[in-house]
Amino acid sequence: MYAISRAAGLTGGIAALAAAGFIVTAVPAHAAAAGSVVAVTDGVFTEFVAGAGQVNDLLITGAGSSLTFTDVHPITAGPGCTAVAGTTVTCDVGTPENVYALQVRVLDGRDIVRNESSTAVMIYGGAGDDTLIGSDSAGDELHAEEGDDTVDGRSGNDTVSGGEGRDTVRGGAGDDDVNGTSPFGPADDGDDVLHGGDGDDTVGGGAGSDLVDGGAGDDVLYGDQDGTGAGEDTLLGGDGDDDLIGGLRADVLDGGAGRDAGYYTERETGVVASLNGVRGDDGEPGEGDSLLAVESLYGSTGDDVLTGDDGDNVLEGGAGTDVIDGLGGDDRLIGGWGLPADTDRLDGGDHRTDAGDVCQLDAAAAGTAVACETVEHV
């Protein structure tokens, strides 16, 4: 069975919806007994809920305050909605305050939900191998949850996620938040394929061995956004100035075109990392990361050894006693903050122009700088 409902008092945000009882809408007992499909509308919150055991192919169309829901199963129109045909209902959704005001829930089954309207919709896939497709003009929230799912936000600033299983998740055009793990389901243990698309995206993998592709734009990529670090991930920055953060296993961090940065700043154990393009020689002892087409490098809170290349690099050690070597190019080397006992060593190496290398040491800690055209104590 299905329910399309609008409930008064929406103030925005998932927490507010849960407090008001909007996240799960119960179907009236008489409707469940009759096995009918129900649409109920009251106020400013619209919800379509599918019953267990049915495989849905739901199409949402329309613009403005009028949306049409068409499925392969009958839909009974409730208040605020009008039956057009047995499987088609048109609803007056008013002016949705935000994406949480219009929600679609399909449950178990190999479901398809397509939003062809100009209104942003929040869609939950539930269990099963689902296909969720967002609007080509609005910023949707699409959460596939359990199963091997396909999710495509298309245009707009979307929030899209996979969940447990092997998912393919695309943000599409716009500044998207793409995640292999659903915030509403079990932890993700599948090997996912995640694409940010055009725009400045945040793309994060889960516990599996994921492909994390930022696409064009200035992206932030995580190999393991949930912190378990179980998979060996490949991060592709693409065009733009990207930030790449791997997990705890042997990851590939490939910045692509632009000025890209690799980060180990959440680590407590010191890392040995270089921008020489050699595969498998970066990270914590035995980790085996590969840093490719990366121009800047940020170390851990431990004792790091960071090495640049012949380009213009930014290398920052963070806390701890760090050894930083810029090699060629006009580099900026930053020892980072530390204790008085920390003794960072910064070596600018060869420089490319008269400006040369800039080396920055913590004034409160011991440290040395060699082959640096400019030395700063901060």
Q: Please say if the pLDDT value at position 41 is more than 70.
A: no
pLDDT at 39: 59
Q: pLDDT by residue (tens digit) across 335-361? A: 988 776 678 999 999 888 888 999 999
Rg, the chain, Cα only: 25
Instruction: Specify the range with the lowest mean pLDDT, choosing from 91-105, 133-147, 194-208.
Output: 91-105
CA angle 168/171/177 to nearest 5° reads 105
Rounded Cα–Cα distance for residues 93 and 55 (Å): 25
Rounded Cα–Cα distance for residues 41 and 39 (Å): 7
Q: Please say if the pLDDT value at position 16 is more than 50.
A: no
CA separation (Å) from 302 to 269, 315, 335?
Answer: 5, 15, 12
Nearest residue to 72 via CA among 36, 112, 118: 112
Confidence of residue 40 (pLDDT cuts 50, 70, 90): low
Rounded Cα–Cα distance for residues 204 and 40 (Å): 36
- Average the pLDDT over 285-300 and give the result: 98
Q: Which of helix, strand or coil describes residue 195? A: strand
pLDDT at 13: 35
Element (H, E) at 296: strand 296-298
Pure H helices in 147-285 = none
Strand partners, 337: none
Please report, rounded to a whole number, the percentage of residues in the chain having pLDDT higher than 90: 68
Residue 271: CB partners within 8 Å, gap ≥ 6? 264, 282, 283, 284, 287, 299, 300, 302, 304, 305, 306
Tell me if 313 sits within 8 A of 338, measured CB to CB: no
Confidence of residue 224 (pLDDT cuts 50, 70, 90): very high
Distance in Å from the first CA to the final CA of the chain: 65
Q: pLDDT by residue (tens digit) across 153-182? A: 999 999 999 999 999 999 999 999 999 998
| Residue 96 φ/ψ region, left for φ over 0, alpha for ψ in the -120 to 50 degree band, beta for the rest | beta
Q: Please say if the pLDDT value at position 23 is more than 60.
A: no
Q: Where is pLDDT greater, at 188 or 308?
A: 308
CA angle 225/164/265 to nearest 5° reads 10
Q: Please say if the pLDDT value at position 68 is more than 70.
A: yes
- CB-CB neighbours of 64 under 10 Å: 12
* pTM exceeds 0.75, yes or no: yes
Confidence of residue 42 (pLDDT cuts 50, 70, 90): low
- Average the pLDDT over 93-101 and give the result: 86
pLDDT at 7: 33
pLDDT at 59: 97
- Concatenated DSSP letters for 136-172? SSS--EEE--SSS-EEE--SSS-EEE--SS--EEE--
Q: Please say if the pLDDT value at position 304 is more than 60.
A: yes
